[in-house]
Amino acid sequence: MIAQEAQYREWMLAALAGDGTAYRMLLAALTRHLRSYFARRLDSGAEDAVQETLIAIHTRRASYDPGLPFTAWVHGIARYKLIDEYRRRRRRATVPLDEARDLFGHDEAGEAIARRDVEQLLAKLPSARQQLVRDVKLDGIPVADVAARTGMSESAVKVAVHRAVKSLGEFAKGAVGGKGKGHADG
Amino acid sequence: MRTDDLIARLTDDLAPVKGGTAQRLLLTAAALGLLSSAALMLAVLGLRYDFDTAITSFGMWTKLVYTFVIAGLGLWTVERLGRPGAGAARPVALLALPVLAILLLSAWQMAAPHADMDALVLGHSSRVCAANVLLVALPTLAAAFWVLRRLAPTRPALAGAGAGLFAGAAGAFIYAFHCTEGAAPFIAIWYTLGIVLTAGVGAVLGRFLLRW
């Protein structure tokens, strides 16, 4: 049984009864799981897949049977959207047989550590670049919006983010290389 | 659009979903499908001429019970396959019961002294039976697809096959009111073939029509 099952199911049942607040909390929580699920499986367009999955969860919520695990239902939809994405890109014919555990199973603590690591690396960047990476990569704000807000052109934003991510990669390599050589290029 | 904005939009106009919505959809679709299949059968094929006496015959009831049980399991399968994360193993496994029953009944009829094998196996309509079942099943197949498109089938071909299983058995049930055969071996072969054919058509169509 997935740890969050009881909480999420409770929110879902409230949402089906029309409770918007429970629904908002549910979708926010699911978004975090979906983000890491798609980010680990798609090399681009993960945020689009997250949004498509959220829309599918919304429009097909009548297909949830309260007698069945809610996490399995969400995983079924997420996996379907993943397969759909692979098919559209014609990149891979088969999808790994993952289970609901793969969507919900990763522990929040691990995610918090990863987030802290990223923050430490980000701190080494100039603050303007930090903000760009935060907006585009962590918060999923579309490049066009960031460009409009900062007054930069879209391509300038893309280049800046790309360079920043590259230097983050180098910082990370430096950090790993310092601990144990030979594993840095794994 | 930002994901936060999307969530805000989805939650702002949240309409409650009544319990049992999916079941209501399924039953509505099943009823509409059966009615249309019956209308099609009556218009194209017609009621069997000896309906008044046949309705109390053993052969008629063999057909009706066999196809009704499979249709019920088929509808259950459709319901399961329309829900992400739900397995259809139980209704599919239970299909063994009606199949086993018709096989036993067939064996019993064929083992009877002086059994006329040709009459039992081929009857007089073996050439058209399966095709007619498929024809009569089509309106119900459309209804089953209609309801699946409102649910969330994550395995489109399998869900299409489930829809075909239900529609094929429902079509066979309706076709039984036209067809004058009643021998268990005939039903076991030709009615089943019609159902399997419909399931195959459903599987192929499902690949294309059940994407979302």
ipTM: 0.89
B1: closest chain A residue by CA: A142
Q: What are B3-15's pLDDT values in tens digits?
A: 999 999 999 989 9
Give the confidence band of A114 by pLDDT, cuts at 50, 70, 90: confident
**Which residue among B2, B10, B86 sits closest to A58, beta carbon to beta carbon?**
B10
Chain B contact for A82 (CB, 8 A cutoff): no
Give the pLDDT mean for A164-169: 86
**Would the CB atoms of B2 and A141 count as touching at under 8 Å?**
yes
Q: What are B152-204's pLDDT values in tens digits?
A: 999 999 999 999 999 999 999 999 999 999 999 999 999 999 999 999 999 99
Predicted confidence at residue A184, as pLDDT, reads: 41
Residues shown for chain B? 212
A44, two tokens:
């681009």
Predicted confidence at residue A180, as pLDDT, reads: 44
Cα end-to-end distance, chain B, whole Å: 21
Q: Considering only CB atoms, which chain B residues are within 8 Å of A16?
A: 16-17, 19
How close B75 comes to chain A (CA, Å)? 15
CB pairs under 8 A between A and B: 95
B117, two tokens:
């094998």
Predicted confidence at residue A106, as pLDDT, reads: 57
Q: Considering only CB atoms, which chain B residues are within 8 Å of A17?
A: 16
What string of DSSP letters covers chain A?
Answer: --TTHHHHHHHHHHHHTT-HHHHHHHHHHHHHHHHHHHHTT-SS-HHHHHHHHHHHHHHTGGG--TTS-HHHHHHHHHHHHHHHHHHHHT--S------HHHHH-S-HHHHHHHHHHHHHHHTTS-HHHHHHHIIIIIS---HHHHHHHHT--HHHHHHHHHHHHHHHHHHHHHHHHHH-TT-TT-
Predicted confidence at residue A175, as pLDDT, reads: 67
